[in-house]
């Protein structure tokens, strides 16, 4: 089948990419899309095809198998991490950290996550207004993953800036790639210093455990250790911030669903699943590289071709989800692909779910009459790469005293 090229810039309007993604999904199973850099990718849009491709061993996660990648992308040190590796390397790398992220281990973090959440809300509830991304959605997962890994609190702003620099608008033609490289080098140096500090002064954290795994044998070399630290650090918050931001906005835009959730907070876990399906952080999708010539949806993809698996399009495929453009927290379907599928299925899914559940429960109970304090056309989005999220979410609500203050008054 011949597939004409479509520039990704047009369909991927970050304010609302879904209508364009739907049009692509309806017109053909695979589109030849040109990213702004000129990099051609094969974009797969239908649920069944994306699901099958996510566990197809002929599609690699390792960018070194790409025919067309720029050096900047190939040099990305994430390509030394599990997300850029195929089995058996992938299996070895993932096994080293998988225990720390099981549903049971993560459940043990609940009291601390609730405490961090309450502390953040204590600062904003008396004011009656807040910017929910910067003051809540972002600091919550950064604090959680920072504490888990053992990143000093004072350093968290630095790595946040470097991550923004690296991830925001990676395909924008006006983007200065030297800035991306500089941010990546600073992050690399910072992590190397942090690893050295853990080696000198071991602590009770995940990074110290990984340093020990490196020093004890051949299970992890130094570059793999840095790549692992980097992956866990950024994957641990860049996505969850969008779950909280996009999810809160989706609820504000659907007051009937918000009221339903307020009336029955036991629905929060299923609401989180529906919000992940409806407007998940991974948008348009994730990349793979063809290890051989192969067919997807009747379209021939050549060896070395980069394939973009459009999770955001698949999760609104009417052949899989009835009435997919309607947010319905009662109809949540765990079959969504927001966390991927197959061997790379999100390692942090239990943690992200828990953070989302704690965050939405707290927002519902502690911010009465929550309302959007910006016009729709004032909302600004990050995106253009793999992820999409709100830059800011201004809200108002009825002020209430901080919990600590209430306890003192009582």
Minimum distance from residue 120 beta carbon to ligand HEM (Å): 17
Give me the least distance between CB of 93 and ligand HEM, in Å please. Answer: 8
C-beta of 258 vs 359, nearer to ligand HEM: 359
Nearest to 355 by CA among 235, 258, 259, 243: 243
Q: How far apart are the first and last CA of the chain?
A: 72
Left if phi > 0, otherwise alpha if psi is -120 to 50, otherwise beta: which for 298?
Answer: left
Q: Report which of 216, 332, 330 is spatially closest to residue 280, judged by C-alpha positions.
A: 332
**Burial of 331 by CB count in 10 Å (0-12 exposed, 13-18 middle, 19+ buried)?**
middle
Question: Is the CB of 125 or the CB of 296 nearer to ligand HEM?
Answer: 296
Residue 108 and residue 111: Cα distance in Å, rounded? 7
Evaluate whether 63 touches 73 at the Cβ level (below 8 Å). yes
Q: Shortest Cβ distance from residue 177 to ligand HEM (Å)?
A: 23
Pairing of strands 294-296, 299-301: antiparallel
- The sign of the torsion formed by the CA atoms of 390, 140, 345, 163 equals positive
Is the C-alpha dihedral spanning 221, 78, 116, 157 positive or negative?
A: positive
Minimal distance in Å, beta carbon 353 to ligand HEM? 8
**Shortest Cβ distance from residue 232 to ligand HEM (Å)?**
5
Query: Between residues 272 and 397, which has the closer beta carbon with respect to ligand HEM?
Result: 272
Which C-beta is closer to ligand HEM: that of 125 or that of 195? 195
Which residue's C-beta sits nearest to ligand HEM? 348
- Report the nearest approach of ligand HEM to the CB of residue 134 (Å): 18
- Is the Cβ of residue 25 or residue 388 nearer to ligand HEM in the bound state? 388
Q: Which residues are near ligand HEM by CB under 6 A?
A: 61, 82-83, 94, 145, 231-232, 235-236, 239-240, 243, 280-282, 286, 338-340, 344, 346-348, 351-352
Kind of pairing, strands 306-309 and 40-44? parallel
Q: Residue 167 or 232: which CB sits closer to ligand HEM?
A: 232
């Amino acid at each position: 089948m011949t597939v004409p090229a479509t520039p990704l810039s047009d369909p991927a309007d970050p304010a609302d990419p879904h209508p364009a993604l739907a049009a692509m999904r309806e017109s053909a199973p695979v589109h030849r899309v040109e990213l702004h850099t000129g990099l051609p990718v094969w974009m797969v849009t239908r649920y069944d095809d994306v699901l099958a491709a996510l566990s197809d061993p002929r599609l690699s996660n390792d960018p070194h198998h790409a025919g067309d990648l720029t050096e900047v992308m190939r040099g990305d040190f994430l390509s030394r991490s599990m997300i850029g590796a195929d089995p058996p390397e992938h299996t070895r790398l993932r096994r080293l950290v998988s225990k720390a992220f099981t549903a049971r281990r993560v459940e043990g973090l609940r009291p601390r996550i609730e405490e961090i959440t309450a502390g953040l809300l204590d600062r904003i509830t008396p004011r009656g207004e807040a910017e929910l991304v910067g003051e809540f959605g972002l600091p919550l997962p950064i604090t959680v993953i920072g504490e888990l890994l053992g990143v000093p609190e004072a350093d968290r702003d630095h790595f946040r800036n470097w991550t923004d620099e690296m991830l925001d608008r990676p395909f924008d033609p006006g983007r200065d790639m030297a800035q991306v490289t500089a941010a990546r080098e600073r992050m690399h140096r910072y992590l190397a210093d942090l690893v050295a500090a853990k080696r000198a002064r071991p602590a009770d954290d995940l990074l110290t455990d990984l340093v020990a795994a490196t020093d004890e044998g051949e299970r992890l070399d130094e570059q793999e250790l840095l790549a692992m630290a980097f992956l866990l650090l950024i994957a641990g918050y860049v996505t969850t911030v969008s779950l909280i931001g996009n999810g809160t906005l989706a609820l504000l835009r659907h007051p009937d669903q918000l009221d339903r959730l307020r009336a029955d907070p036991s629905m929060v876990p299923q609401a989180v699943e529906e919000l992940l399906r409806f407007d998940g952080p991974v948008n348009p999708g994730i990349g793979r590289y063809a290890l051989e010539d192969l067919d997807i949806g009747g379209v021939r993809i050549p060896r070395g071709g980069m394939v973009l698996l459009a999770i955001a399009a698949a999760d609104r495929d009417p052949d899989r989800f009835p009435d997919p453009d309607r947010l319905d927290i009662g109809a949540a379907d765990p079959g969504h692909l927001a966390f991927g599928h197959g061997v790379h299925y999100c390692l942090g899914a239990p943690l992200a779910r828990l953070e989302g559940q704690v965050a939405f429960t707290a927002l519902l109970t502690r911010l009465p009459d929550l309302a959007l304090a910006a016009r729709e056309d004032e909302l600004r989005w990050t995106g253009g790469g793999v992820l999409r999220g709100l830059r800011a979410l201004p809200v108002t609500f009825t002020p209430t005293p901080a919990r600590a203050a209430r306890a003192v008054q009582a």
